[in-house]
Amino acid sequence: MKGRIVKGLGGLYEVRAQGGKRINCTARGVFRHEGLTPLVGDFVEIRLENDDEGVITDISERKNSLIRPPLANIDYLFCFVPCAQPAPVFETVDKLTAIAEHNGIEPVIVVSKLDLGGESDKIRRIYEKCGYSVFGVSAETGEGVDLLCEYLKNTVGDGTAAFAGASGVGKSTLMNNLFPALSLKTGGVSRKTERGRHTTRHAELYFVNEYGYSDLDCVVADTPGFSMLDFLRFDFFDKESLPYNFREFLPYISECKYRGCTHMGEEGCAVLEAVENGEIPESRYDSFSQIYKEIKDKRPWNVKN
Ligand SMILES: Nc1nc2c(ncn2[C@@H]2O[C@H](COP(=O)(O)OP(=O)(O)OP(=O)(O)O)[C@@H](O)[C@H]2O)c(=O)[nH]1
Ligand SMILES: [Mg+2]
Ligand SMILES: [Zn+2]
């Protein structure tokens, strides 16, 4: 029987079988020998043991897979940037867009908590300049939620979209606003540290059609928020591929004076020139150079795909 893993906890997997039935599965021991761990989002073959329990016997080849959030076969990564509470951290969102680009996933920018003011227009301009779709939303007032819903319907179609971002940026709250029937748990933001409380603890897929949203065919995933700590173990790609994961750099990369230009200050660097001319947003270049410094001395281990 075929299905898709929608949730995984402690070696137990919930698989949505074709037709919608949920089967609680263990994974065949052999995956461990092959170094393969089933991921939420995997398309799998299962063998039924009884009515609602089974064993995963095969994992279909993945289109892509992410370490954080831990998901497979994602088409769109909705990267959250809050207007405030917590304050927006461009480096976090730029790491997310870069991870998505590297894995062939389309990044979409969600500027959340519009009702709290802040620099939403500035944030929007930065990412529109890079060529990304940007949605400003407030889960509090409902502003912008209809446009996002249209995007899910018309662009995501029957694809899979994951919500990702720092803890407390409002991923689960927005998902509840879009799909109240999900009634996901949401948390607060610490007043003292302005950090989220890591309310969502595991990634889970929702086939929203099954919750009564019959005009939508998409699958959405809520995921646990990032903390800065996750990025100390940043191992998503090597420094050679880094510039290619900044979409707005692409027209300039081949124009640099030196082959093998790292765009970190070389003479005749077309990327730096584009930053100076305002064609590449400064915050994006800052994130690029910050990530470059973080990964430059790392060996290219665990390169994905
Ligand atoms: N003012 C305002 N507050 C919001 C909005 N969206 C979410 N919040 C609040 O932000 C806090 C965190 O929201 P969550 O939805 O739990 O955040 P999350 O991104 O899912 O966080 P994790 O699950 O920890 O990753 C809650 O107190 C929400 O009420 C919004 O649009 N406006
Ligand atoms: Mg959450
Ligand atoms: Zn260069």
pLDDT in tens, 122-162: 999 999 999 999 999 999 999 999 999 999 999 999 999 99
**What distances in angstroms separate CA 30 from CA 26, 36, 38, 192, one per listed residue?**
12, 9, 12, 47
Residue 8 Cβ contacting ligand 1 at under 6 Å: no
Residue 231 has pLDDT above 60, yes or no: no
Compute, in angstroms, the gap from residue 291 CA to the centroid of ligand 3: 16
pLDDT grade for 304, boundaries at 50, 70 and 90:
very low
Architecture per CATH, 234-295? Orthogonal Bundle (1.10)
H/E element holding 111? strand 106-112
What is the best residue among 172, 186, 200 to mutate for testing ligand 1's pocket, by most ligand atoms within 8 Å of CB?
186
What pLDDT, on a 0 to 100 scale, did the predictor assign at position 299?
58
Ligand 1 binding pocket includes 45 (Cβ within 6 Å): no
Cα 226 to ligand 2 centroid, rounded to whole Å: 10
Q: Atom 14 in ligand 1: which residue has the minimum CA distance? A: 170
- Compute, in angstroms, the gap from residue 259 CA to the centroid of ligand 3: 8
Both tokens assigned to 246: 């900044």
Q: State the distance from the centre of ligand 3 to the C-alpha of 300, rounded, in angstroms.
A: 21
- The reported pLDDT for the residue numbered 97 is 96
3-state helix, strand, coil in the chain (%, to 5): 30, 25, 45
pLDDT-based confidence at 303, cuts 50/70/90? very low
| pLDDT tier at 23, thresholds 50, 70, 90 | very high
pTM over 0.85: yes
CATH of 2-60, one of 3.40.50.970, 3.30.70.20, 2.60.40.3470, 2.40.50.140: 2.40.50.140
Inform me whether the pLDDT recorded for 173 exceeds 80.
yes
Based on its alpha-carbon atoms, the radius of gyration of the chain, rounded to whole angstroms, reads 20
Reported as a single tens digit per residue, the pLDDT across 242-273 is 999 999 999 999 999 999 999 999 999 999 99
Is 115 close to ligand 1, i.e. is its CB under 6 Å away? yes
Closest ligand, as measured to the CA of 92: 1
Contacts of 142 (CB under 8 A, 6+ apart): 177
CB of 103 closer than 6 angstroms to any ligand 1 atom: no
pLDDT of 179 higher than 90: yes
Residue range 66-231, CATH number: 3.40.50.300
Model pLDDT, residue 198? 86
Domain spans, the chain: 2-60, 66-231, 234-295
Sequence-distant (≥ 6) Cβ neighbours of residue 183 within 8 angstroms: 176
